[in-house]
Chain A
Amino acid sequence: MSIYVLEEQLNEFKIEVIDKYRDTKSPLMQILQESQKRYGCVPVEVQEFISKEMNITTAKINGVVSFYSMFSLKPSGRHILGVCTGTACYVKGASRLVERVEALLDTEYGSTTEDGCFTLAHTRCVGDCAQAPVIMVNDEFNGKVTSDDIPKIIARHRGKNCKK
């Protein structure tokens, strides 16, 4: 099993996150969100650590983590690319954009490219329907995207922080 979060990081997590929430009522979601934000995931080692520190069963923690789509067990690639598939984007051709992205990156929705550069994330309505169809790359917003924009969007981010 891979380890994504190290011992030292867990200690830091205890001081900076868990201790802060000890007196809060039902803090589990907030603690999990902190893990997701810091490490890009809520891996098993973090779940077990929270379980021990907060005296919540791992079964309960795992149940919550698996229920919400924002939590992942593994960190994602360098860039998170999401073609919005809300209703407005869908009627404006988002499913063809998804196919184009999948073909160009040679990977499926929900997974990460082999070089670790892109994770294709399921994205349901980012709330910018007037600009449909929309592609998000991390926090970067791309509106009224056409299929021939996609190679450019990918190339722009490939360059950034990616070996290949």
Chain B
Amino acid sequence: MNKNILDKIKVETLTANPELNEPHKNLHEKEVRVVLKNCDIINPENINHYIAKDGYFAINQILTGMSQEDVIKVVSDSGLRGRGGGGFPTGRKWNFAYKNENDTKYIICNADEGDPGAFMDRSVLEKDPHSILEGMIIAGFAIGAETGFIYVRAEYPLAAERLQKAIDDALELNILGENIFGTKFNFKIEIRLGAGAFVCGEETALIASIEGNRGMSKNKPPYPAIEGLYGKPTIINNVETLANISQIILKGSKWFRSFGTEKSPGTKVFALAGKIKNTGLIEVPMGITLGEIIHDIGRGVGNKRKFKAVLTGGPSGGCLTEKHLDQEVDFDTLVALGSMMGSGGMIVLDDHDCMVDIAKFYLDFSVDESCGKCTPCREGTIQLYKLLEKITNGEGTIADLDKLKKLSKAVKKTSLCGLGMTAPNPILSTLEHFYDEYLAHVTHKVCPASSCRGLIEKYIIQDNCVGCTICAKRCPVQCITGERKGLHVIDQDACIQCGECFASCNFDAIITK
């Protein structure tokens, strides 16, 4: 394998498949494709397609004339920050591992994508697997590692399958394996499957899992770049981080910095979901405003409902509201606003969603996923959950709100790993932005969003019912009657207060008491 062969494959593939040069369809004018540039364009199971889109030219360029320091310098200059949530500068991390001399080092791609509500990494893994391999090979060269692992969450079998095919094809062309491109550089990649544990997305737990242990976190320092997998210097990078690398090498750090902000250069992929018209993945320059994402690209909440908040950062993050719509979205602004970027999931909520209930949902998740190693997280999250449950059931008091805040802060401060340190964030953030809603639950015993069933006595259909029959169809106990186009009525004796009718009426004809 050499540059001439790459060129030949590229030209031949493009001649045979001119559609590979076509632009993405239906892109919003505010979107930019860097990470997703090949997704839905190339056939992910065909290595020649990847090469046709300049794939593996970056590693070729590196192996025919760049030093390890050169590579680290370009990545550092680009300002690329880790897309797995923390936003740590990638070049700096690589430099730690490079400087830490050792005859064995490892590269790990974190493809655990545990945030429920995020699906960016999945797309890249399934639709452009070679871009991850190339990022890992480059990282391996930069720090002096010969082995890489991709830790894929068990829920993504197709991703694992495509990655394996990509690895096999790259081996065949000697882009992986020994003496890559005829040089002295060797690199191999193996896949490891997760087994359903969110905490394994945390880097030290992930390492424990690859080592065949319970996925429990460890104290840091030492950081993995110093002492990681099998005690060796290890770089762990997120999928999206790695997908940026080859293009930064090919096009340069200046090009990369032409997108995004000074402190958060480049683009970010977001997964829009929840109460928003245009759901799906978008890729936008960092620094775009929240309003542009929600209203221009996402086209708002639809269904006559009102935008209420957007959740970012998943179970570690918080919420942003109407008053934040003008804010620029990047790593630092989101943290300053009490949320965080996380991996890029954005769940939009409307006026039917209760913020206390959402906080409870996330705490339930954290209780389930706490690895149990340290007490503040293991016990603290349970206590926090119970307080929230009490409030949503209408049994909370004002004193509980204080308790909630104090305990949240204590858990944050004293937990051992990122899971516990961030698990209370959804509570603190909703308390800050929606304190009135908490108050309504504890003082007036009402849920302003009509969502908490413990606070709802009955559902009533009002005169503005247009008789669309949807609620009658969805009612699990068939206790709603009415003619098509006629007023519908609920048989209160038979009703089990499930709330299905309330959620399904598109005409605001159902109220709660």
Residues of A within 8 A of B (CB): 25-30, 32-33, 63-64, 67-71, 85-88, 90-93, 96, 99-100, 103, 124-132, 146-148
- Chain B's closest residue to A149 (CB) is B474
Residues of B within 8 A of A (CB): 113, 115-119, 122, 154-156, 192-198, 209-215, 230, 271-275, 279-281, 311, 314, 345, 347, 349, 353, 358, 361-362, 365, 368, 371, 473-474, 476, 498-500, 503-504
Let me know if A86 and B195 touch, CB within 8 A: no
Let me know if B280 and A86 touch, CB within 8 A: no
Let me know if B345 and A129 touch, CB within 8 A: yes
Shortest B128–chain A CB gap in Å is: 16
Q: Which 6 pairs across A and B sit closest by C-beta, in order of nearness?
A: A86-B116, A68-B195, A87-B117, A125-B116, A26-B212, A88-B273
Q: Give the contacting residue for B116; candidates A26, A64, A87, A148; CB below 8 A.
A: A87
Let me know if B154 and A70 touch, CB within 8 A: yes
In Å, the complex CA distance between A73 and B280 comes to: 37
Additional pairs, 14, CB under 8 Å, beyond known A124-B365, A129-B279? A25-B230, A26-B211, A33-B195, A70-B194, A86-B117, A91-B349, A93-B503, A96-B500, A103-B476, A124-B198, A124-B368, A128-B119, A129-B347, A130-B280
Given A87-B347, A91-B353, A125-B117: A68 and B474 interface contact (C-beta under 8 Å) = no
Let me know if A148 and B473 touch, CB within 8 A: yes
Given A67-B214, A88-B117: A96 and B503 interface contact (C-beta under 8 Å) = yes
> Which residues on B sit within 8 Å (CB–CB) of A125?
115-119, 155
> Which residues on A sit within 8 Å (CB–CB) of B115?
125
> Which residues on B sit within 8 Å (CB–CB) of A63?
214
- Chain B's closest residue to A66 (CB) is B214
> Which residues on A sit within 8 Å (CB–CB) of B347?
87-88, 91, 129
Given A27-B212, A92-B274, A147-B476: A129 and B117 interface contact (C-beta under 8 Å) = yes
- Sampled A-B contacts (18; CB under 8 Å): A32-B195, A33-B193, A68-B194, A69-B195, A70-B195, A86-B117, A87-B362, A91-B274, A91-B275, A91-B358, A92-B274, A93-B500, A125-B115, A127-B118, A128-B119, A129-B118, A130-B273, A147-B500
In Å, the complex CA distance between A148 and B154 comes to: 30
> Which residues on B sit within 8 Å (CB–CB) of A127?
113, 118-119, 122, 155-156
In Å, the complex CA distance between A85 and B364 comes to: 11
In Å, the complex CA distance between A129 and B103 comes to: 43
Shortest A83–chain B CB gap in Å is: 13
> Which residues on B sit within 8 Å (CB–CB) of A27?
212
Shortest A148–chain B CB gap in Å is: 5
In Å, the complex CA distance between A49 and B17 comes to: 53
Let me know if A146 and B353 touch, CB within 8 A: no
Let me know if A124 and B476 touch, CB within 8 A: no
Q: Give the contacting residue for B361; candidates A68, A87, A130; CB below 8 A.
A: A87
Shortest A17–chain B CB gap in Å is: 14
Shortest A132–chain B CB gap in Å is: 6
In Å, the complex CA distance between A67 and B113 comes to: 18
In Å, the complex CA distance between A117 and B279 comes to: 34
- Chain A's closest residue to B271 (CB) is A129
> Which residues on A sit within 8 Å (CB–CB) of B211?
26
Let me know if B155 and A67 touch, CB within 8 A: no
Let me know if A29 and B197 touch, CB within 8 A: no
In Å, the complex CA distance between A100 and B478 comes to: 13
> Which residues on A sit within 8 Å (CB–CB) of B362?
87
In Å, the complex CA distance between A26 and B229 comes to: 11
Let me know if A146 and B474 touch, CB within 8 A: yes
In Å, the complex CA distance between A124 and B155 comes to: 9
> Which residues on B sit within 8 Å (CB–CB) of A132?
273-274, 279
